[in-house]
Amino acid sequence: MATEPWTPRMPPAEAAPAGEPPMPIGGDVEAIEGKSPWYLAYLRLRRNKIALAFGALFIVIVLFCLAAPLWSRLVADTGPNQNHLTDQIEIGGKKTFVVEPNGIPIGPGLHSKFLLGADDNGRDVMVRLMYGGRTSIYIGVMAAIITTIFAVAVGLLAGYYRGWVDGVLSRTMDLIWAFPVLLLGIALGTALSVGGLKIGPLEVPADSLWIPILIIGFVYVPYMARPIRGEVLSLREKEFVEAAVAQGKGPIRIMFTELLPNLVSTIIVFFTLNIANNMLLESALSFLGAGVKPPNASWGTMIADGEDRLVTAPFLTIIPGLMIVLTVLALNVFGDGLRDALNPKAKLRMEAN
Amino acid sequence: MEGMGRFIIRRLIGMVAVLFAISVMVFLIFNVIPNSDPAQRIGGKNADQALIDRINDEWGFNDPLPEQYVTMMKNVFTGDLVSYQNQRDVVDQIEKGIPVTFSLCIGAAILWMLTAIVFGYLSAIKAGQATDRALTILALIGISLPVFFLGEMLLYYVAFKLSLFPVGDYVKFTEDPLQWANHLILPWFTLAVLFIGFYSRLLRSNMLDVMDEDYVRTARAKGLPERQVRLKHVLRLSLIPIVTLFGLDFGAVIGGGAILTETVYNLPGVGQYAGQAVASLDLPPLIGVTLFGAFFIVLLNTLVDIVYAYLDPRIRLGTQAA
């Protein structure tokens, strides 16, 4: 660390108010002079090798899941929901049942088909794992996008207009906040699992992936809207907003062209960590039966499917479980690194200061 | 106590408003938003026409929405909320589960607070060193573990393979306190891990912030031993936000956060009751658990606020945003 030309020793928390670019102190000022805050953030992130490694791990996991159709067609020769209950495959020249007559499925091993074994229905675990990962990551990312859109809208409106708009929006957020996330998730998931959702022109069938996406996106809105509102409240007092008002800019333009750009670093960090939380909630909902509907695979439903076989075929639980842990851990560590890089004054730090 | 009475009354009025809003939201979630016949939904998978007619009558689904709301609340509070799948009274079932859920949650809460304080303290005073890094990694793994996966792994490796603990199930405290604890050690740990990870990191960063404060420098300058500065000055102040958060999280865990742990370890608490209701798409139990869970959280938060106001005059006199 000391070998760097400038060491970004973070100033104490009260040194710079929110919204101002952090000034590294104690180093060569010329090294950072004239560089944009984004470039400085990039430099800080580049130094954090742990965060970068975990970011790369997440990308590898995504690529692995995207390759599902390739593996399914070229190697395993089966789809994620195809049963092979009575099939036999050749292992070392010997014919072996995919699912033994006593119900115990084949385990992981170096055979091109069923590389990670089969589940109770004789479905290829490797293929299901890849397709399930697509589902889990897709839900995590889409729900994070929904949360972000709503949270930013709520935060901007409440923080900019203040007064009764803030009152109504903040009380609504408090109300959602009063429910434990998981409980609200299963309440919505179960209530919507019969007929789906229909609000005005928006109609979502019950077995659609969009049901868990909308639910997960909805329950996390207050957790992101609150800090964004706080930040908007303090940004709103800044001179540049006053200048924009004096120039005759309307509220909407001020929100989008003046306030939003200052929120981007917060949004990026929250978005990354939000995907991790979404994936955990998705797996919990699917595990209980209020998330992704069978026979569709997600890592949560795979663990639920494997629960009854925990003693005879523990790999059915361990494999998807480890994938969730790895993915969520990768996002958490990378998100932490992003936060350190973009907002060095942030409360939680991966690196010691 | 100056202003205490007024504060309590103001807070209680606010609480009643929130409770009302919560009940309306539960009503919307279960009876208005979903796109299907509400009687069919409440009756469950095997509801026949006679049952659906009966439910339509009992829940007043042909009335206008405000009347439906009143009927639902009447059903809930007069003990008429019944699961149509197993004919059991929902409130009775929740009452039966409460001792189990409290046993689980209180034990886990003690475990997570103690461990988090030790870990966070060690991490902060060794900031940047190997201990800190190891604890940070552990904490990050802790917050990345799905609760049910951790539970199943402990069941498989610790309870089944090593036979160190019983595989699930619950023994009443009044029957055999030792067996009660023995059956709950793994669930306590499982429920606590996430919070240990989260709280220890929060405490660490709080302590690092507080260590820069002037009064800490003063304490050192007047010659207090370092250990005393850390424990009496830094740690004590850093714990305030943690204790506030604890009040919120403890309420949330009892009000519905223990569903996964109870389901995995087969503990017959409120959470498992909710979990089984999800699996069989049985809505009345979920209406009850959601409503009472959120009620409990709001009640507990109000209580915490009142205790805080009692301890800190700035809050009850409104000189500081509470």
Contact (CB, 8 A) for B170 and B267: yes
In Å, how far are A225, B101, B121, B229, B262 from B254, measured between CA atoms? 25, 7, 27, 36, 11
B-facing residues of A in 269-328 (CB < 8 A) are 276, 280, 283-284, 287-290, 300, 303, 307, 310-311, 314, 317-318, 321, 324-325, 328
pLDDT tens-digit profile of B230-243?
888 888 888 888 88
In Å, how far are A136, A183, A286, A307, B279 from B151, measured between CA atoms? 20, 19, 16, 11, 19
Report the candidate in A45, A55, A51, A29 with the shortest Cα–Cα distance to residue A342.
A45
Q: Look at residue B301 and tell me whether its pLDDT is greater than 80.
A: yes
Q: What is the mean pLDDT of chain B?
A: 87
Q: How many CB atoms lie within 10 A of CB A38?
A: 13
* Identity of the highest mean pLDDT range in A81-95, B166-180, B204-218: B204-218
Report the candidate in A335, A270, A266, A272 with the shortest Cα–Cα distance to residue A50.
A335
Region B13-39 average pLDDT:
88
Region B103-110 average pLDDT:
94
As to burial, measured by CB atoms within 10 angstroms (0-12 exposed, 13-18 middle, 19+ buried), residue B293 is buried
pLDDT tens-digit profile of B202-252?
999 889 888 888 888 888 888 888 888 888 888 888 888 888 888 888 988
Q: Look at residue A70 and tell me whether its pLDDT is greater than 70.
A: yes
**Å from A61 to nearest chain B CA?**
16
Band of the pLDDT at B113, cuts 50, 70, 90? very high
Q: What is the token pair recorded at A290? A: 């209020």
Identify the residue whose tokens are 């067609």: A73
Q: What is the token pair recorded at A114? A: 């069923």
- Three-point CA angle B296, B300, B301, nearest 5°: 115
Band of the pLDDT at B195, cuts 50, 70, 90? very high
Q: What is the token pair recorded at A254? A: 């001020």
Backbone angles phi, psi at B82, to 5 degrees: -125, 140
Q: In sequence order, what DSSP letters do the residues of B15-46 get, joined into one string? A: HHHHHHHHHHHHHIIIIISBSS-HHHHHH-TT
Q: How far apart are CA B321 and CA B317, in angstroms?
A: 10
Contact (CB, 8 A) for B274 and A186: yes
Band of the pLDDT at A21, cuts 50, 70, 90? low
pLDDT tens-digit profile of B68-84?
899 888 888 887 788 88
Q: How many CB atoms lie within 10 A of CB A141?
A: 16
Q: What is the token pair recorded at B187? A: 């669930």
Q: Could you tell me how far CA A232 lies from the centroid of its own chain?
A: 24
* Identity of the highest mean pLDDT range in A2-6, A54-58, B126-130: A54-58
Q: How far apart are CA B137 and CA B142, in angstroms?
A: 9
Which residues are CB-contacts of A242 (< 8 A; sequence separation ≥ 6)? none
Region A160-173 average pLDDT:
91
Q: In sequence order, what DSSP letters do the residues of A71-92 get, joined into one string? A: IIIIII-S-TT---TT-EEEET
- Pairing mode, strands A94-97 and A197-199: unpaired
Q: Is the Cβ pair B297, A178 closer than 8 Å?
A: yes
pLDDT tens-digit profile of A314-350?
888 999 999 999 999 999 999 988 888 887 555 433 3
Considering the entire predicted model, what is its pTM?
0.88
Least CA distance to B252: which residue of chain A? A180
- Return the beta strands (E) in chain A as ranges: 88-91, 94-97, 197-199, 202-204
- Return the beta strands (E) in B116-206 as ranges: none
Region A112-138 average pLDDT:
86
Q: Is the Cβ pair A284, B260 closer than 8 Å?
A: yes
Report the candidate in A111, A299, A15, A192 with the shortest Cα–Cα distance to residue B30.
A192
Q: How many CB atoms lie within 10 A of CB A210?
A: 17
**Å from B281 to nearest chain A CA?**
6
pLDDT value, residue A137: 95
Q: How far apart are CA B278 and CA B282, in angstroms?
A: 6
Report the candidate in B28, B11, B99 with the shortest Cα–Cα distance to residue B308.
B11
What percent of chain A clears pLDDT 70, i.e. is strictly above it? Answer: 87
Band of the pLDDT at A132, cuts 50, 70, 90? very high
Q: Is the Cβ pair A303, B152 closer than 8 Å?
A: yes
Q: Is A336 on the interface with B (CB under 8 A)?
A: yes
Q: Which of B155, B208, B252 sits opposite A353 (nearest CB)?
A: B208
Rg (CA), chain B: 24
Amino acid found at B317 = L
Contact (CB, 8 A) for A128 and A292: no
Q: Which of B36, B127, B255 sits opposite A180 (nearest CB)?
A: B255
DSSP secondary structure code for residue A96 in this structure: E
**Å from B65 to nearest chain A CA?**
17
Q: How many CB atoms lie within 10 A of CB A35?
A: 12
CA atoms within 13 A on the CB side of A177: 15
Q: Which residue has the higher pLDDT, B8 or A4?
A: B8
Q: How far apart are CA B235 and CA B229, in angstroms?
A: 9
**Å from A176 to nearest chain B CA?**
9
Q: What is the token pair recorded at B35? A: 């796109």
Band of the pLDDT at A1, cuts 50, 70, 90? very low
Q: Which of A178, A192, A276 sits opposite B22 (nearest CB)?
A: A178
Q: Could you tell me how far CA A312 lies from the centroid of its own chain?
A: 32
Q: Could you tell me how far CA A262 lies from the centroid of its own chain?
A: 22
Report the candidate in B292, B241, B277 with the shortest Cα–Cα distance to residue B91.
B292
Residue A128's SS3 state is: helix
Q: Which of A195, A300, A351 sits opposite B34 (nearest CB)?
A: A195
pLDDT tens-digit profile of A256-299?
999 999 999 889 989 999 999 999 999 999 999 898 988 888 99
Region A137-166 average pLDDT:
94
Region A77-106 average pLDDT:
76
Q: Look at residue B11 and tell me whether its pLDDT is greater than 80.
A: yes
Q: Is A102 on the interface with B (CB under 8 A)?
A: no
Q: How far apart are CA A4 and CA B140, in angstroms?
A: 27
**Å from A215 to nearest chain B CA?**
11
Q: How far apart are CA B132 and CA B187, in angstroms?
A: 27
Band of the pLDDT at B100, cuts 50, 70, 90? very high
Q: Look at residue A352 and tell me whether its pLDDT is greater than 60.
A: no
- Pairing mode, strands A94-97 and A202-204: unpaired
Which of A32-36, A57-61, B117-121, B124-128 has the lowest average pLDDT? A32-36
Which of B58-72, B182-196, B300-314 has the lowest average pLDDT? B300-314
Give A-chain residues touching B255 at CB under 8 angstroms.
180, 183
What percent of chain B clears pLDDT 90, i.e. is strictly above it? Answer: 31
Q: Look at residue A11 and tell me whether its pLDDT is greater than 60.
A: no
pLDDT value, residue A134: 94
Interface predicted TM-score (ipTM) of this complex, two decimals? 0.89
pLDDT value, residue A25: 54
Q: What is the mean pLDDT of chain A?
A: 83
Band of the pLDDT at A115, cuts 50, 70, 90? confident
Which of A168-182, A196-210, B261-275 has the lowest average pLDDT? A196-210
Region A61-86 average pLDDT:
84
Give B-chain residues touching A290 at CB under 8 angstroms.
278
pLDDT value, residue B210: 86
Contact (CB, 8 A) for B253 and B108: yes
Give A-chain residues touching B160 at CB under 8 angstroms.
310-311
Torsion, Cα A250 A253 A254 A260, to 10 degrees, reads 160
Compute the 3-state secondary structure of chain A and give helix, strand, coil in percent, each to the nearest 5: 60, 5, 35
pLDDT value, residue A24: 54
Q: Look at residue A23 and tell me whether its pLDDT is greater than 60.
A: no
In Å, how far are A263, A266, B145, B204 from A269, measured between CA atoms? 10, 5, 20, 20
Q: Is the Cβ pair B33, A197 closer than 8 Å?
A: yes
Give B-chain residues touching A313 at CB under 8 angstroms.
none
- Pairing mode, strands A202-204 and A197-199: antiparallel
